[in-house]
Each structure stands twice: as C-alpha cells, then as structure tokens.
Amino acid sequence: MEHNNNNNNPNRNPNPIRNPLSSSAPVWPTIDGALGLTEEDSVSYARNFYNFGFALLPLLWAVNCFYFWPVLRHSRSFPRIRPYVVGSAIGLTVFTALLCSWALTFSLGGERLFGPVWDQLVMYNLADRLGLTTWS
C-alpha cells in the first residue's frame, strides 16, 4: 500500500503544528492544564498570591511563579494575569538577593566585620547569657 501526501485528502489536519504542546501561545494559564483553574479564577489567585507575598510570605511569590509558569514563559499570553506573575518573579528575585546577602554578611563577616557588637547580634550565646546552660 502506498502512502500518498496530496492536498486533496478530506481528513487533512488544518493545523500545521503537529504537536499542540509546542505551540508558542499556551492554552491554559496554569501548569496543570485543563485540570487547573479557569482564566477568571486564575486572575484572582495570581492577584492574591502576589499581594500576600508582600505580607512577608515570599514563598507565595515562588508558588505564583511555579503555578503560572506558562504565563511567565510566554510574554504575550494572558495579559490580565501576567502583571501579577511578573511582579511575583521580581519580588522573589529581590527577596532572594536580600536574604542571600544578609546570610553571607553574617556568615563570612562575623566578628571581623562587626567587632565587639558581634556578641550582642548572635543568638548562639543567648542560653549562656540567660543562665540556661548551668546544670543544677
């Protein structure tokens, strides 16, 4: 049997893209596709994750970036959701940079950087100061 690829095939797929997952625009705003949220619900969730991230819960910014990854990845998709997801990505990046710089300052600088104030800044000698280490 011979395989013919002519244009007169009545069952021809009008979509030239063979794999629908490789298209440039996502169909669903969330990573779980059809099982996820509708676009209306997605706007509400993305806004809430973004706003609550400012309440010192930057983990919600990370969740927002992960859950709405298709929106973050494609710049022209879902314009109502995108500002919240991009804002979450920026907030998470700034928070991570500040947290890493703070941790590195204390771990690398230590007593050499802070001098005699170092004893009041560190918490590992708190039990000694409160007298909790004596066995009675």
Give the mean pLDDT of 8-36: 63
pLDDT in tens, 61-110: 999 999 999 999 988 889 999 999 999 999 999 999 999 998 898 888 88
DSSP 107: I
- Higher per-residue confidence, 22 vs 13: 22
**Token pair belonging to 91:** 């907030």
Give the whole-number percent of the chain exceeding pLDDT 70: 76
Q: Any idea what the Cα angle at residue 68 is, between residues 43 and 35, rounded to 5°?
A: 85
Confidence of residue 9 (pLDDT cuts 50, 70, 90): low
- Between 11-25, 55-69, 120-134, the lowest mean confidence (pLDDT) is in 11-25
82-104 and 39-53 helices, crossing angle to 10°: 30
Q: How far apart are CA 48 and CA 34, in angstroms?
A: 21
Q: How far apart are CA 56 and CA 20, in angstroms?
A: 39
Phi, psi (rounded to 5 degrees) for 19: -110, 115
- Of these ranges, 25-39, 100-114, 120-134, the one predicted with the greatest mean pLDDT is 100-114
**Exposed, middle or buried by CB within 10 Å (0-12, 13-18, 19+), for 116?**
exposed
